[in-house]
Amino acid sequence: MNIIVPIKQVPDLVEGLEIDESGKDLNREWIKLKLNEFDDHALEEALLLKEESGATVTAIAIDSQDIDKVLFTAAAKGADKIIKVTGNFGTTVTSHEAAKALANAISSMQYDLVLTGVQAVDDRDGQIAVLLANYLNVPHVSVVTGVSINGGAVSVMKEYGGGNVAEFECTPPLVLGIQAARQTPRYVPVAKVRQIMKSATLEEVAGGDVSVVAASTVQKFSFPTGGGSAQMIEGSAEEQANKIFELLKEKGIK
Amino acid sequence: MSKQIFVITEHLRGKIDDVTYEMLGKGKELAAASGGELVAVLLGHNQKELANEFGAASKVIYADHEKLADFNPWMYAKIVSEIVAQQKPRVVLTAYSSMGIEVAPAVSVSQGISLTAYVSDLSIQDLKVSVVSQIYGGKMNIEAVDENESMIACVLPGSFPADAGKATGSPAVEDFAVSGLDESKIQFKKLIAPDKSDVDITQSEILVSVGRGIQSNDNLPMVEELATKLGGAVSCSRPIVDSKWMPKTRQVGKSGLKVKPKCYLALGISGAPEHIEGMKEADLVIAVNTDPKAPIFDYAHYGVVGDLFDIIPALSAKL
């Protein structure tokens, strides 16, 4: 079984975000990026399937800042092949463009499953998993928390709200949007990544035509003002804890 | 250009999800502004009576087939695509939900129409649609305009009041002829009910809820101690469940549970829209986070910018 795992980087939200001069994008000069956590789960699930059934795992990513290292890290974790999709991409690639470039690259490959993250924090124009499935013209199941291979069929668990889960039986090829792998994504030491950079080959495939149909046009980025409702409790940790305690007492909770 | 507004309705186990009413309420407002009609789209099997729940709409398009009795990503996407292709509405509202996340992108690609996700607000003037998306975990608003013939908006649950869309009545029901579902490579097998063996956090009056800020499952005992002292239960945000540190039964938010406790202590939870959806009805929300810009402070009644590893022991000591 061949499993392809599209991965990408997203801004690390632990760092503060800034808006650039145009007011229509993030200030990307100092931005810290990290692997989309859901893509990390997709890769983990693919590696677990590989360990169970001897699948071949290919990690693939659109050419972007520091992506080589991300792909080599995937190789260090156990991906058999790593592929960079090249093309004339701007600093921001929409989900439709990314999905189309990935579909162009993947359509010429042999594959049974495509596992990618259910969502990313920046997909303003929709989630890549289902977009990609439709550009590839194969079925999809998203918000997946369990995958098992039973001969030629693939059993998939899909989550709804309120703890409800649906089971589907699928015939590959298909695309799955992974919410969570069966276990926490594995960690790989930097030394192992460095080592694999010397031995692994990073293939390049052209992304081809990524012009897509209609889209909405971004006018403005702004920080949400929300309700701004919280009354802030100042002071030392001790004083803050005191205040919380008083509040709970006042509300009859303690 | 069509002036119609479509709402793709959702139901599970015969119950309409609140987000459907939220979209119907917003859809009614959009239809009044566009001068078109509001149409609810319902897929199911022997569920025509659900159409009576959509009194806010002037018409319900109903697709009935035994294979549509339960949600199926491929079948639902196919039928909604066909309905949209036939009518080309100006705006299609889908929920940013487990169902909507499969339907909206599929319709966008198959019909070549624009898609905007994480939508928290939208308005329409002269058939030009202004749309606001809340992205980067709720830390950024992006305003955009859509001047296309047709668009899909994938709406964040909890963005609009549900009451505005709750009207029973007998809207006109138009049957949609369903065919071509036999070739599906995706078959629905069964629906598995939520695990009832654990504490039911929806029944807890006090929830001590932890997020990514807890850093490691080794730090959970101090949270449990605090919850016990408060007479409450421990709940958490999604990353904690995805890391397998706590069971799914404790998860608050979109793919977890909706809770409405008397008191919700949010410790190290940034407040992504998916989490807010599950807890914003709590009577009292106190949030502790190291990031003063964390969106959770927009929903909390009281906020502490600080380290939960300082606050938790200090508070526990007082109880």
Mutate to test the interface with A, among B101, B116, B191, B197 (most CBs of A within 10 A): B101
Q: Which residues of B touch A227 (CB under 8 A)?
A: 298-299
Q: Compare CB distances from B303 to A138, A141, A232 and report the shortest one's residue.
A: A232
What is the pLDDT, as a whole number, of residue A227?
58
Kindly report whether the peptide bond that precedes residue B273 is cis, defined as omega within 30 degrees of 0.
Answer: no
What is the pLDDT, as a whole number, of residue A226?
60
Task: Count CB neighbours of B218 within 10 A.
Answer: 9
Q: How confident is the model at residue B296 (pLDDT cuts 50, 70, 90)?
A: very high
How far apart CA A166 and CA A136 sit, in angstroms, is: 24
Token look-up 């006090």 returns B206
Q: Do A38 and A117 meet the contact criterion of CB atoms below 8 Å apart?
A: yes
What is the pLDDT, as a whole number, of residue A245?
94
- Rounded mean pLDDT of B210-238? 95
- Rounded mean pLDDT of A22-33? 92
pLDDT digits (tens, 9 = 90+) for B266-290: 999 999 999 999 999 999 999 999 9
Inter-chain residue contact A180 with B138, CB threshold 8 Å: no
Inter-chain residue contact A179 with B186, CB threshold 8 Å: no
Q: Do A45 and A147 meet the contact criterion of CB atoms below 8 Å apart?
A: yes
What do you get for the CA distance between the two ends of chain B, in Å?
64
Residue B46, pLDDT above cutoff 70: yes
Q: Do B248 and B257 meet the contact criterion of CB atoms below 8 Å apart?
A: no
Q: Compare CB distances from B101 to A143, A221, A237 and report the shortest one's residue.
A: A143
Q: Is the ipTM of this complex over 0.90?
A: yes
Inter-chain residue contact B138 with A242, CB threshold 8 Å: no
What is the pLDDT, as a whole number, of residue B68?
96
**C-alpha closest to that of A80 among A116, A98, A54, A109:** A54
Which chain B residue's Cα is nearest to A216?
B146
Q: Compare CB distances from A17 to B70, B136, B298 and report the shortest one's residue.
A: B136
pLDDT digits (tens, 9 = 90+) for B114-126: 999 999 999 999 9
Q: Which residues of B touch A96 (CB under 8 A)?
A: 108-109, 115
pLDDT digits (tens, 9 = 90+) for A56-88: 999 999 999 899 999 999 999 999 999 999 998
Q: How confident is the model at residue A229 (pLDDT cuts 50, 70, 90)?
A: confident
In the structure encoding, which two tokens stand for residue A36, read together?
């989309």
Task: For each of the domains in chain B, give its residue range(s) and CATH number, in order of start.
Answer: 5-176 (3.40.50.620), 201-318 (3.40.50.1220)
Inter-chain residue contact B116 with A141, CB threshold 8 Å: no
What is the pLDDT, as a whole number, of residue A26?
94
User: How is chain B classified by DSSP, letter by letter?
Assistant: ----EEEE--EETTEE-HHHHHHHHHHHHHHHHHTS-EEEEEEESS-GGGGGGBTTSSEEEEEE-GGGSS--HHHHHHHHHHHHHHH--SEEEEESSTTHHHHHHHHHHHHT-EEEEEEEEEEEETTEEEEEEEETTTTEEEEEEE-SS-EEEEEPTTSS-SGGG-B-S--EEEEE-----TT-SEEEEEEEPPP-SS--GGG-SEEEEE-GGG-SGGGHHHHHHHHHHHT-EEEE-HHHHHTTSS-GGGBBSTTSB----SEEEEES----HHHHHHHTT-SEEEEEES-TT-GGGGT-SEEEES-HHHHHHHHHHH-
A to B CB pairs, distance under 8 Å: 295
How far, CA to CA in Å, does A63 sit from each of A31, A80, A163, B172?
A: 17, 19, 37, 51
What is the pLDDT, as a whole number, of residue A16?
82
Task: Count CB neighbours of B118 within 10 A.
Answer: 30
What is the pLDDT, as a whole number, of residue B49?
95
Q: How confident is the model at residue B169 (pLDDT cuts 50, 70, 90)?
A: confident
pLDDT digits (tens, 9 = 90+) for A111-143: 999 999 999 999 999 999 999 999 999 999 999
Inter-chain residue contact A229 with B134, CB threshold 8 Å: no
Residue A228, pLDDT above cutoff 70: no
Q: Compare CB distances from B315 to A99, A122, A241 and report the shortest one's residue.
A: A241
Inter-chain residue contact A240 with B140, CB threshold 8 Å: no
How far apart CA A234 and CA A254 sit, in angstroms, is: 21
Task: Please give, rounded to a whole number of angstroms, the shortest distance from the CA of A62 to a CA of chain B.
Answer: 20
Q: Which residues of B touch A16 (CB under 8 A)?
A: 291, 293
Inter-chain residue contact B141 with A177, CB threshold 8 Å: no
Inter-chain residue contact A135 with B109, CB threshold 8 Å: yes
Q: Which residues of A touch B241 (CB under 8 A)?
A: 180
Inter-chain residue contact A221 with B194, CB threshold 8 Å: no
Which chain A residue's Cα is nearest to B98?
A160
The helix/strand/coil state of A185 is coil
Q: Which residues pair with B30 in a beta bridge?
A: none
What is the pLDDT, as a whole number, of residue A213?
74
Inter-chain residue contact A231 with B301, CB threshold 8 Å: yes
In the structure encoding, which two tokens stand for residue A249, read together?
């007492």
Token look-up 């009354």 returns A231
pLDDT digits (tens, 9 = 90+) for B143-157: 999 999 999 999 999
Inter-chain residue contact B142 with A221, CB threshold 8 Å: yes
Mutate to test the interface with B, among A168, A175, A213, A229 (most CBs of B within 10 A): A168
Task: Please give, rounded to a whole number of angstroms, the shortest distance from the CA of B224 to a CA of chain A.
Answer: 16
Which chain A residue's Cα is nearest to B313?
A241
Q: Do B132 and B119 meet the contact criterion of CB atoms below 8 Å apart?
A: yes
- Rounded mean pLDDT of B32-37? 96
Q: Compare CB distances from A166 to B70, B77, B284 and report the shortest one's residue.
A: B70
Q: Compare CB distances from A126 to B70, B154, B262 and report the shortest one's residue.
A: B154
Amino acid at A63: D
How far, CA to CA in Å, does B5 sit from each of A215, B139, B319?
A: 18, 29, 54
Task: Count CB neighbours of B36 within 10 A.
Answer: 21
User: Could you tell me the CATH superfamily of domain A2-206?
Assistant: HUPs (3.40.50.620)
Inter-chain residue contact B287 with A230, CB threshold 8 Å: yes
Mutate to test the interface with B, among A92, A124, A158 (most CBs of B within 10 A): A124
How far apart CA B43 and CA B176 sit, in angstroms, is: 9
Q: How confident is the model at residue A106 (pLDDT cuts 50, 70, 90)?
A: very high
What is the pLDDT, as a whole number, of residue B202?
93
Give the dihedral sign, CA A124/A126/A129/A131: negative
Inter-chain residue contact B110 with A247, CB threshold 8 Å: no
